[in-house]
Amino acid sequence: MAVLLVVGGLRQAKEERGPGAVALPGMLDERAGDRLIGTAVDDGALQREPGYREVLARQFSTLTPENAMKWAVLEPERGRVEWGGADRLVAFAEEHDQEVRGHPLVWFGQLPGWVEALPEPEVQQVMREHIRQVVERYRGRVRTWDVVNEPFEDDGSRRRSIFQRGMGDGWVEDAFRTARTADPDAKLYLNEIGAEAPGPKSDALYALARDLRARGVPIDGVGFQGHFNLEGMPRGFRQNVERFAALGLDVAITEADVALEMPASEGELRAQAAVFRGVVEVCRAVPRCRSLTFWGFTDRHSWIPATQPGRGAATLLDEELRPKPAFRSVLRALGR
Ligand code: G3I
């Protein structure tokens, strides 16, 4: 009985520490050229799983905190700021000579309750203070910020977020100007979900980006998240990205993943690999595509199963950190 308990204890400890890193058949990132390869980072795994950390350190040149810099995580109660996860991510990146993509400064999602409950006349001041506080803390250390995330509904109208209600359309411009003042050297991005295909949302995003550029608002780039499934990439993705680049903006793919119905068959894993290859090809085809970030690199830590029940397996490595067909096809598409 005693022996069994010990064995059980060992197994539990191993689970918490995650699988060890296995030898992967190549390097996604070779620190060559200026197109960065990145991943979202799960703070729990970063703290507890050595195998996860090893892959993270070796395979990527830019890191995005998956949740650690979201407002609800940073400041759950007004004035009580918890920098732990964000500091950890930035320190890890510095230790491994990686860039950080700060994400997101202003987003309707994962807001603390006290922000949602703000009287509208207070919103502008609180938004500005938040941006200043976060950007100044990491000034010179976080190279790129998703300043504004997901401002549009699918029909191209503005989302009725607390920022929109409190400040009207001008909140986007206000956020970019505030971020530029807080760190004049950071690259400032507008990031959107589901705007890969030409259509109402993408057109609204384009009109906004063009207007900001035309009026000298400090925006450096536009991010396309790239959450896909086996329907594949929408037609016209590359041309759509190109029209934003033609405005004189950098572009990036910021959250690529490809969700599968579970359990996934071998054929579906191969089909997934083809979708990932297409995503890489879009970024490689557009010279101003500065970075390609995956929304997690192992199925062990991916947002899909929790938010899309019945789906999963959306990343490049399986739950044991072993390469899936997608990993090899991304390597090939990158020319490795
Ligand atoms: O931190 C709490 C934890 O204390 C609690 O025990 C647990 C119980 O469910 O919840 C934890 O918070 C969860 C958090 O992820 C951390 O795991 C939230 O409930 C959950 O909603 C949150 O999901 C995140 C989601 O954004 C929220 O909208 C995903 O991890 C994250 O991948 C996802 O990322 C977004 C990008 O930021 C923007 N683009 C879309 C993308 C996917 O939704």
Phi then psi dihedrals of residue 311, to 5 deg: -115, 160
Nearest CA to ligand 1 atom 4: 73
Pocket lined around ligand 1, Cβ cut-off 6 Å: 66-67, 109-110, 149, 193, 225, 255, 303
Cβ contact 160:103 at 8 Å: no
Distance 73 CA to ligand 1 centre (A): 10
Please report, for the chain, the start and end positions of each structural domain, with discontinuous segments joined by +.
Answer: 23-335
- Each residue's pLDDT, cut to its tens digit, for the chain (336 residues) gives 334 444 445 556 556 799 998 899 999 997 656 789 999 999 999 999 999 999 999 999 999 999 999 999 999 999 999 999 999 999 999 999 999 999 999 999 999 999 999 999 999 999 999 999 999 999 999 999 999 999 999 999 999 999 999 999 999 999 999 999 999 999 999 999 999 999 999 999 999 999 999 999 999 999 999 999 999 999 999 999 999 999 999 999 999 999 999 999 999 999 999 999 999 999 999 999 999 999 999 999 999 999 999 999 999 999 999 999 999 999 999 998
255 counts as catalytic: yes
| b (16+ CB within 10 A) / e for 98-128 | bbbbbbbbbbbeebbeebeebeeeebbebbb
Q: How far apart are CA 223 and CA 327, in angstroms?
A: 22
* Choice among 150, 173, 192, 196 that is catalytic: 150
Domain 23-335, architecture per CATH: Alpha-Beta Barrel (3.20)
